[in-house]
Structure formats: C-alpha cells, structure tokens
Structure 1
Amino acid sequence: MKLKQRLDAMWGRQHQRPVGILGRMVGERMLRQHQPETDWTLDLLQIQPTDTILEVGFGAGRGIKLATEKAPAGHVMGIDLSKTMLQVATRRNAQAIRAGRVILKQGDIAALPFEDQQFDRIMTIHTFYFWSEPSLITQELLRVLKPAGRLVVTLATGKLNDQGVEEFSHLQTLLEEQVVPDMLRNGFKVVRLERGPFSRQYNNVALIGEK
C-alpha cells in the first residue's frame, strides 16, 4: 500500500508539473488522452480570426496549435508551470513562434504576467484540481480578460462506475454551490456549466464565464 501511495503521489506531481524524461512521456500521454475535451473546449471558446487567446496549462501544446489555426490573424499566448512542457510545446509550435503569432511562458495561474484586459478568449483544461484558491484565481483570469471576452475552464467532475452509471465527485458541488455564484458576485456577467463528451470513463464539464 505504501508503494502504491508513493506511485500515486509521483504521478500526481507529474500531472501538475511534468519534469524531465518522465514528464515528457506524461505530457504526450495527456495530449492523446485529452483530445476529445481539448477539441470541445476550442469549440466552446468561439474563437474569431483576430482574437488574442490565452491557454493556461498548455502541456504538450496541442491546444495552442489548434487555437492558432482558428485565429489566423490573431495571437496566442500560453503559460505553464512546467519548464519541460514549455520546451515540448515550443517545439510543437515552433513555426508560429518564429512568425510572432505564439508566445509561450513558464508561470503560475495565480499571478499571470499579463496586462489587464489583454485577452479575448482564455482556456484552461484539467488545471482546476490544482487551484489552491478558486475565488482568487477566477478574479485573476477576469483581470486579464477583455470586456465581452469568454473564459472556458474544462475539468472532470465524475466518472462511470462498473455498472455504467455516472458518479460525481465533490467538484460538481463545488462548482455549482461556490464557484459559479462567486464568479457572478466578482464581476462575470454570465457564468454557466455545460456538459461535454466523456473521455475514457471520465465526464467533462466546462465552466464558462463571460465578462
């Protein structure tokens, strides 16, 4: 049991901040596993050709690449805790970076190194689990979002059990009872939850906020 706990802790750390060779493997695995929710999140963003877009926690960089394709006259920026993922995503988006259309940085969602009202669209996929204070982080995301801009936070709040019945974690209640009301109180004009595709046995829920 102790070995399993240590392994679980190790994988948890790698998912939050992939490091080294193992981190590269984790990043590429997440890229493959998260394709359904990544595609869905990009659709929910309703990206326009000239938009300036931010992805928080860009991982191996597939979301950055897709956003760049959807905004051919816009700009895409990304921030991630992991230096390893910064290196991987930089290679994946090297052409757009050389063209000045993509900028990737290492940094923390709790203190975004961007100006107020800088982005038309913001997305973040499977980072919510690591937010220490959701209220402060949603305020920080609101700060860098332009008026009429859109935020999409995608996460799993449950999974199918052995009988094929969906069982929800505490995250669903947290979103419904605390996060959504808090965002409305703090300046978002519209906040809603939308159900998305299952990815493997996990559900996907999008927290959508509009400024």
Structure 2
Amino acid sequence: MEKPTISPKDLARQLRQPQGEDGLRIGQAMNKSNAAIYDMVLDFLGLKPRDRVLEIGFGNGHFIPALFQKQAGIQYTGLDISDIMVEEARKENSARVADGSVQLHLGKTEEMTFAAGAFTKVFAANVLYFWDKPDVALSAIHQVLEKGGELILAIRSAESMRQLPFSEHGFTLYDVEAAEALLEKNSFAVAEVITAVEDVKTPQGGGSTVQLENICLRGIKI
C-alpha cells in the first residue's frame, strides 16, 4: 500500500471521522487494515435469520455484503458520523438500499433516535476508542437493543495499539479488563471474550511493521 502523506495527528482525525479526499483514501485503506478484525467479528456475531442488526461506524460500507453472505435473512442498519462515508456506503450497497434490507444513517451513537428495542444485535469494530463519553454511548445502545440483545465490541488491545503513532491523538485505549468493566458498568453482562493476533503488517501511516492483537467482547443487555 502506498504510504499516505499525512501526519499521525491528521491520520487520527481522519480515522475518527473521514472527510474530503484524504477521508476517501483513508476509507479505502481501512478496508484492508480492518479485514482481519472484520472476519473475526463476522464469525463472532452468530447471525440468525430475522436478526435486526445495527452497525456503528460502517465506514464506506465495504464489509456490509459479507454480513449477508453469512446470513441472507437479516435486516441491517448502519450509523456513521462521516457524511462522505455514508455517501460511499450508499453507492457500494445501492441494490440493498433500494430493496430496504440495508438502511444507512448519518449521526452519532450518543444521539441516535432509533426505537427502544429496535435491534437484536449491535456491533462496532474499531470504534470504542473514539467515544468521548462511552457511558452515554453505551446507554444509547442499551436503549435500542431488545431485552437479552447482544452488543459485540471489537477493538485492538491497548498494548498493541501503542505501536501505532496515531493512537496518541484522541484515542482512548482499552485492555480486556477495562473493556469488560466498562460494559458491566453500563448494564451489560459480558458473556464471552475472544482474542486473536494478526499477521505482521505495515500500519497506516507507514513506519515499522506491527503485530496487532484483536479483541471481541459479547455483552448481553440486562
């Protein structure tokens, strides 16, 4: 991958909320850099027919078709804070947007207005770091999940994220214990945690190769 000519601080800002031409390029780069963690999430979700799924932070929508390959009979809703990512995702998934199986929305987790109990499952991959008020975000997710519904959070461990210079700018990092404590504090019972180490790779922004540890947590609404 060609190294982007962007500072760690600007890269961090774009990863949080892609904007402009740089944001489009970062969105494409994330499709590659997030492939391993999305594969992990897709298996961990355990999708079932008629699941009503909300993804928070879907980026350019590149991975949405993979959910339907896992389970065709789902209803997918996406929420993202980047207007250009919403636009790109609508283009990439235009047929499913047209038939109503995919709905894509611009907005913040903390301010979402979906109906109470609207979803059976909510998931977010590499998003938790950016919630400035995680208790508020998790309260909003708790509200839109049905009773017993599942929240799947996928993150990279704090230790492995510290290998990445951009993580010093606006990222809140978590290890397994901190992420579990956060969920339990906000009325989720942590039912399962899995971890996996990715292959060595060159990170976004260039620099030395890194090996990242991925974490998936399953929280049950209580």
User: What TM-score do the two structures reach when normalised by structure 1?
Assistant: 0.84
Q: How does 1:12-51 map to 2 (within 5 A)?
A: 12-51=12-51
Secondary structure of 2:12 counterpart? helix
C-alpha contact 1:111 1:140 (8 A) present in aligned 2: yes
How far apart in 2 are the matches of 1:160 and 1:19? 23
Deviation at 1:184, TM superposition (A): 2.6
Q: How does 1:1-211 map to 2 (within 5 A)?
A: 7-157=7-157, 158-159=159-160, 171-173=173-175, 175-177=176-178, 179-198=179-198, 200=201, 201-211=211-221
How far apart in 2 are the matches of 1:151 and 1:65? 20
Secondary structure of 2:153 counterpart? strand
Aligned to 1:165: none
Distance 1:7 1:189, change over 3 A: closer
The letter for the 1-side match of 2:160 is: K
Instruction: State the number of aligned residues.
Output: 198
The share of aligned pairs that are identical, in percent, is 26
Distance 1:129 1:186, change over 3 A: closer
Unaligned runs of 5+ in 2: 1-5, 164-170, 202-210
Unaligned runs of 5+ in 1: 1-5, 163-168
User: What TM-score do the two structures reach when normalised by structure 2?
Assistant: 0.81
How far apart in 1 are the matches of 2:14 and 2:110? 19
Deviates more, 1:150-159 or 1:36-45: 150-159
Q: Which has the higher contact order (CA 8 A, sep 6+)?
A: 2
Secondary structure of 2:188 counterpart? coil
The letter for the 2-side match of 1:159 is: S
Distance 1:171 1:69, change over 3 A: same
The letter for the 1-side match of 2:173 is: L
How far apart in 2 are the matches of 1:49 and 1:152? 18
C-alpha contact 1:55 1:77 (8 A) present in aligned 2: yes
Q: Which has the higher helix share?
A: 1
How far apart in 1 are the matches of 2:11 and 2:186? 34
C-alpha contact 1:51 1:71 (8 A) present in aligned 2: no
C-alpha contact 1:68 1:75 (8 A) present in aligned 2: no
Distance 1:172 1:13, change over 3 A: closer
